[in-house]
Amino acid sequence: AQKITQTQPGMFVQEKEAVTLDCTYDTSDQSYGLFWYKQPSSGEMIFLIYQGSYDEQNATEGRYSLNFQKARKSANLVISASQLGDSAMYFCAMREPENSGGSNYKLTFGKGTLLTVNP
Amino acid sequence: NAGVTQTPKFQVLKTGQSMTLQCAQDMNHEYMSWYRQDPGMGLRLIHYSVGAGITDQGEVPNGYNVSRSTTEDFPLRLLSAAPSQTSVYFCASSYSVQGLATGELFFGEGSRLTVL
């Protein structure tokens, strides 16, 4: 079973509008972390935002916010005031303990959502 | 600020050839990992290391070997390349995985490998 599910292969948004990219996750651990990365067409991976499982408030970083709904196991990325430069592939990822001791962590990625911002 | 450096950026191999993808980081990160990215598959973990002398398998380890003799370097070896290993490979590192605040991965620029 997939641990990270991104159900939107592609999304379109008009410049200056807000857009939500969906991410659901599956874990039985209580301690985990959720990440969003951006990959523009140039190929590099850019860290955007992080949410810890014990964080009560939604994470925000500039125009990025993470809508964390723990009971629903969702961690959607919201981009406000979209810009043409936001056009890219976006990956949701989860870090969870490899074992019950939590001494090792692995980061598991979803398959990504390709966002296109139209002028 | 070198960060994570991968070499080569592009490589073409013939089936059966061997090669090593190099990865070096200068941030004194304990955790290093290799991912492969294939269309529609996202990034999949190949191998990872939590410190010098310690390596472990990820989701798709078959056909790849790694070693971690120093904190800085984490090479990925393909012993006998196959067309199925055609992919973009990313090396990524992070601060210590224990007690860290975010554990965000710092990625190299990627290495595009084609196996004919």
Would the pLDDT of B99 be above 70? no
Q: What is the mean pLDDT of the segment spanning A59-86?
A: 96
Q: What is the mean pLDDT of the segment spanning A72-77?
A: 97
| pLDDT in the model for residue A105 | 64
In this prediction, residue A80 has a pLDDT band, given cuts at 50, 70 and 90, of: very high
| pLDDT in the model for residue B96 | 64
Q: Are A115 and A53 in contact (CB under 8 A)?
A: no
Percent share of chain B, pLDDT over 90 = 74
Residues of B in contact with A105 (CB under 8 A): 31, 97, 103
Burial of B91 (0-12, 13-18, 19+ CB in 10 A): buried
Q: Which of A36-40, A96-100, B60-64 has the lowest mean pLDDT?
A: A96-100
Residues 21-60 of A with CB under 8 A from B: 33, 35, 43-45, 47, 50, 52
Higher pLDDT, A1 or A13: A13
Q: What is the pLDDT of residues A54-67, one digit of tens each?
A: 888 999 999 999 99
Q: Given A4, A44, A103, which is nearest B98 (Cβ)?
A: A103
Q: Are B102 and B31 in contact (CB under 8 A)?
A: no
Q: What is the pLDDT of residues B1-11, one digit of tens each?
A: 679 999 999 99
Whether the CB of B105 is below 8 Å from some CB of chain A: the reply is yes
> From CA B29, how far away is CA A3, in angstroms rounded?
26
In this prediction, residue B43 has a pLDDT band, given cuts at 50, 70 and 90, of: very high
Would the pLDDT of A102 be above 60? no
> From CA A61, how far away is CA A2, in angstroms rounded?
27
C-alpha distances out from residue A72 to A59, B19, B64, B80, B100, Å: 17, 44, 37, 44, 25
| pLDDT in the model for residue B30 | 86
In this prediction, residue B98 has a pLDDT band, given cuts at 50, 70 and 90, of: low
Q: What is the mean pLDDT of the segment spanning B11-30?
A: 95
Would the pLDDT of B66 be above 50? yes
